A and B are shown apart, each in its own frame.
Chain A
Amino acid sequence: AQKVTQAQTEISVVEKEDVTLDCVYETRDTTYYLFWYKQPPSGELVFLIRRNSFDEQNEISGRYSWNFQKSTSSFNFTITASQVVDSAVYFCALSDVDSNYQLIWGAGTKLIIKP
């Protein structure tokens, strides 16, 4: 069965530090999609990125970068030079054929950036 594991329940760093959020997934399908969402303290859920299983190229968007490694079934998220506004809960998710493309969610990692 599909599974998404975010082993880090909470991470606390000082502003300007780099931080990596881990995501490990399990799926039997060869075609699948991986996602990251951000939930700031205000509560809304914000889509950050989607990656399909055939595209292992890493992605960079400003201070955000994502490292997709099929060999280790991981899709890690790094924030460079963190800022207080990055404080949020971050969710990793998976969709695949077996789940009928419904999202399988990780438990989330709470990221606290201290000034």
Chain B
Amino acid sequence: DAGITQSPRHKVTETGTPVTLRCHQTENHRYMYWYRQDPGHGLRLIHYSYGVKDTDKGEVSDGYSVSRSKTEDFLLTLESATSSQTSVYFCAISDARPKVFGNTIYFGEGSWLTVV
């Protein structure tokens, strides 16, 4: 199993409150990702990082921000949570050589977030 730890694993929060999800990896992989998974939409990329302090937006980045101050940690922040952000959030990592490994992505166990 890839060494990826997500916290918290489950959280219920109120609309308008800030929420931070943490992803920690022990694999020293350069790339890290945050996805959300929703019924009918499958897996959608929120943000990703290709190195410390290097991040980029995915297809559903509105309302989310990320930070990566260390190789092993990638934080996802919902500045002001909304009910539409109720979802399962997956952190993922991949090797730094997508052209060699096709960007094989390994996922964490997921964080279930409910915004009420």
Most buried by B among A37, A44, A106: A44
Contact yes or no, B102 A105, CB < 8 A: no
Contact yes or no, B105 A33, CB < 8 A: no
- Bits for B38-60, please: 1 = Cβ < 8 Å to A, else 0: 00001101001000000000100
Q: Is there a chain A Cβ closer than 8 Å to B74's Cβ?
A: no
Contact yes or no, A43 B109, CB < 8 A: yes
Shortest beta-carbon distance, A110 to chain B, in Å? Answer: 11
Tell me the residues in window 87-115 of chain A with beta carbons closer than 8 Å to chain B beta carbons.
91, 95, 101-103, 105-108
Sorting the interface of chain A by its residue count into under 10, 10 to 19, 20 to 34 or 35 or more gives 20 to 34
* Closest partner residue, chain A, to B9 (CB atom): A43
Q: Which of B42, B98, B109 contacts A95 (CB 8 A)?
A: B98
Tell me the residues in window 21-51 of chain A with beta carbons closer than 8 Å to chain B beta carbons.
31-33, 35, 37, 43-47, 50
**Complex Cα–Cα for A46 and B106 (A):** 7
Contact yes or no, B102 A33, CB < 8 A: yes
Shortest beta-carbon distance, B45 to chain A, in Å? Answer: 6
How many B residues face the partner with a CB closer than 8 A?
Answer: 21
Shortest beta-carbon distance, A33 to chain B, in Å? Answer: 3
Q: Is there a chain B Cβ closer than 8 Å to A5's Cβ?
A: no
Most buried by A among B105, B108, B109, B112: B105
**Complex Cα–Cα for A108 and B38 (A):** 12
**Complex Cα–Cα for A26 and B89 (A):** 27
Write out the residue numbers on chain A whose beta carbons fall within 8 Å of the beta carbon of B110. Answer: 43-45
Q: Is there a chain B Cβ closer than 8 Å to A52's Cβ?
A: yes
Shortest beta-carbon distance, B95 to chain A, in Å? Answer: 11
Show the binding face of A for B, using Cβ within 8 Å.
31-33, 35, 37, 43-47, 50, 52, 91, 95, 101-103, 105-108
With A35-B104, A91-B42 known, 5 other A-B pairs at CB within 8 A are A32-B102, A33-B104, A101-B98, A102-B48, A102-B103
9 inter-chain pairs at a CB distance below 8 angstroms, sorted by A residue, are A31-B99, A33-B102, A33-B104, A35-B102, A43-B110, A45-B107, A47-B104, A91-B43, A103-B43
